[in-house]
Chains A and B, each alone.
Chain A
C-alpha cells in the first residue's frame, strides 16, 4: 500500500472560485483562513475582523461555510477518481489516494504526483502532499509540508520522528501535557514506553501514533462515487459575463471527468444550470457528437458555448449534471501512435454546434412520406447514428435534388407555366395524392392532390413543377 495524502490548506477559502484578492474567511468574528495576498499584508488566523480590516482595507471577507467546504472536497474526490478508484475523505481538508495499485499504469509515483499537482494548479487549489505506506503517516507528513514519496516504512518513520508533537485533532490539554514533559517531536514520544503514555495522554492519541507508525492497522472508509453526477458550485460574487464562468465551470467538468473515469462511463449530454441572483435558473445544455470523457474537450466546448451566451441576469451558482451516460466500451489503444491529421469530425461538429446553434447543423433523414414537403427529415448529427437501410428506389419516378422552402406560384401564359421563360414539360404527369390524415393540423402539409411534371426553361434549368386546383407552382430543381 502506498497512500498519497493531498492536503488543501486553503480549501475553506478556495472553495470559492473567482474571489478577488486579498481575501479572508471569518468564523465568529475572527479570521480563520487567509490567502497569500492577505498574509503578505499581515493578516493572520485568529485576528479580530477589525484588526484584519485595519491591516488590509481592501480585504474581501467571507463567512465560513462548512457545507461549501464539504462540497468542494467531494468534488475534488470525484476529480481524483481519474488516478485511483480508492479515494478516502480526510475531512475537513484532505484526501487520501491509494496509489500503490496503479503505479505501473501511470509510470511511478512521481508521474502521479506531477499530474495531481498540474490538476490542482488548473483548478487553482493550493496543495501540500506526501506519499507513505500508512494513511495517517502520509497525512501528517502532507500537513507538515514534507512533499516527498516515502515508499518504505523505515524512511517514513524517520520523517515522522522529526515532526513536532502538535498534531491537529489532539486535544489541547494533551499537547500541553506533552510540552510539560519536554517532548518536542514525535520521535521522542514514540520512544516512551507505551503503557505509561497511554495512562498519561489517553487512548486516542497513542492509537493515532501507532497507526501512523504502521503498528496497528488503519482501515479507511472509501469515498463512494455517486450513482449519478450532480455537482454545484457557489460563486462568491455575482458574475455578469458568461466568459467569466468558464473557470468555475471547469472545476465542475474536472470533477465530471474523474467521475466518468472511475465509473467507466462516457457522457453524451449534460446540463449546466445557472442560478441567477433573482433565484431564477436557466439551463445551458451541452451535447457531444459522440460520448466523451475527455476533460480538455469539455473545457473547449464550454468556452465555445459561454462565448455565445447572453446572461439574462448575473449568476450566483452553477450546477452541472450528467444527463445521458453510457457504458464505456472496452477499447484497446493502438500499439503504434498514429499521426492524426486535423482534430477530427467529432470535435469539429461540437464546435460548429456551439457557435452556430444546434439547429443550424443537421443531417438529412429520409422519411417515408409521399409528400415532397415531408419526405426530408432532419436530425442532430451523431457519429454513432445507425444508417438507414439502402434505399430501394430503382424504378421510382425522378425526384429533384433541391426543393424550394415553399412552392412558388408561377404565372401561366397561353396554357404554359412561366419560370424565367416559358417552361416546356419533359415528362408526363405524376399524380401525388396523399396526406388526408393530418388535414387541418397546424403546421402539417395536409391533404395534397397535385400533378407533378419535369420541366425545362430556355436557360437550360430543369425544374420540378406541379399543378393543382390553384394553378402552377415551382417546387424543386434537378441540379
Chain B
C-alpha cells in the first residue's frame, strides 16, 4: 500500500510518537514556562500547545497561577487572546495587568452547566492562545477526550484545573501535574508526561508578595490598633 516507507527519524519526530527513554522534542509547539527547572522536565521544553494539560491542586492561593503566568503574559503580549472558563474567584484587573496580561484580551466566561461545551468551542475555534478552565468535579473521561480531540493541532495552550482527588482516575491529557504549596515555593510532581516518567518532584520558587516588596505604610487606625496585636507579629 504505502510504497515509500518513512525514514525512522521522521517517524520519531512526530508529536504522537515518543520513546520511553527520552523526552520528545517539540520545539515549535512549546512555550517556555519561565521556570528553567520545569522547562527541563517538560517534553519540548515548555508548556505544550495543542494538547490538554491538567494541573491538579487542592487549594487556591499557593502560587499555582504563578506557574503559568509568565507563559500567559508572553502569549498575551504577542496579541493572543486568553480565556478563563468558570474561574473560582473574580480576576482582579490590576494584578493581571501587572503580571503582563493585556486585560482587553482576557476573556472571562461564566458557563455553568455549559462549561464543557464552552471549553470545546473555544479550543476548536483555534482563535485563542490560551484557554484555562476550572471544570466541574464531575467532568468525565469522555468529555475530557472530546476536549483533547478539539485542541489537537491548534495553537492553543489548554489547561484544566482539577482537584488532586482525581489523580488516580484515568485522563486523556498528555501532561498532568500535581501541585503542593510549601513555605518557599511550590512542589511540582509530574504525574504523567510523554516520554520517560519523572523520578522526583520539583521544587520551584515562585515570586511571592510580602516582605521583599515595599509596601506603603500608612497611619494605622487607632481604634483597631489598640484592639489588635497583629502589627507586633509583622514587626
Contact = CB atoms under 8 A, between A and B. Distances in A.
A425 B89 contact: no
Interface of A: 340-349, 351-352, 355-356, 360-367, 372, 375-379, 381, 385-388, 391, 393, 395-405, 412, 414-417, 424-431, 433, 449, 451, 453-454, 456, 459-463, 467-469, 476-479
Q: Which of B90, B96, B102, B208: most chain A CB closer than 10 A? A: B90
Given A345-B127, A425-B233, A479-B61, A375 B93 contact: yes
Contacts, number: 245
Interface residues of B, number: 72
B199 interface: no
A190 to B, nearest CB: 62
Contact of B62 (A414, A449, A462): A462
B98 A399 contact: yes
Interface of B: 59-66, 81, 87-99, 102-112, 114, 117-118, 121-122, 124-128, 153-155, 180-183, 208-211, 213-221, 223-224, 228-234
A104 to B, nearest CB: 34
B61 A478 contact: yes
B91 A403 contact: yes
Nearest to A397: B215
A375 B92 contact: yes
A402 B87 contact: yes
Nearest to A396: B98
A327 B86 CA distance: 37
Contacts of B97: 366, 388, 391, 393
B216 A366 contact: no
B171 to A, nearest CB: 23
A368 to B, nearest CB: 10
A374 B112 CA distance: 25
B216 A478 contact: no
Given A348-B125, A381-B107, A479-B61, 7 more contacts: A355-B118, A356-B109, A367-B93, A385-B104, A388-B102, A459-B62, A478-B63
Nearest to A426: B210
Contact of B92 (A355, A376, A381, A456): A376
A425 B94 CA distance: 22
B60 A479 contact: yes
Given A352-B109, A401-B91, A424-B233, A460 B98 contact: no
A249 B117 CA distance: 26
Contacts of A349: 107
Contact of B214 (A342, A348, A385, A395): A395
A454 B209 contact: yes
A469 B154 contact: no
Contact of B118 (A352, A427, A449, A453): A352
A451 B60 contact: no
Nearest to B62: A460
A425 B86 CA distance: 30
B107 A342 contact: no
A428 B114 CA distance: 43
Going nearest first, the 3 A-B pairs with the smallest beta carbon separation are A431-B218, A342-B126, A460-B181
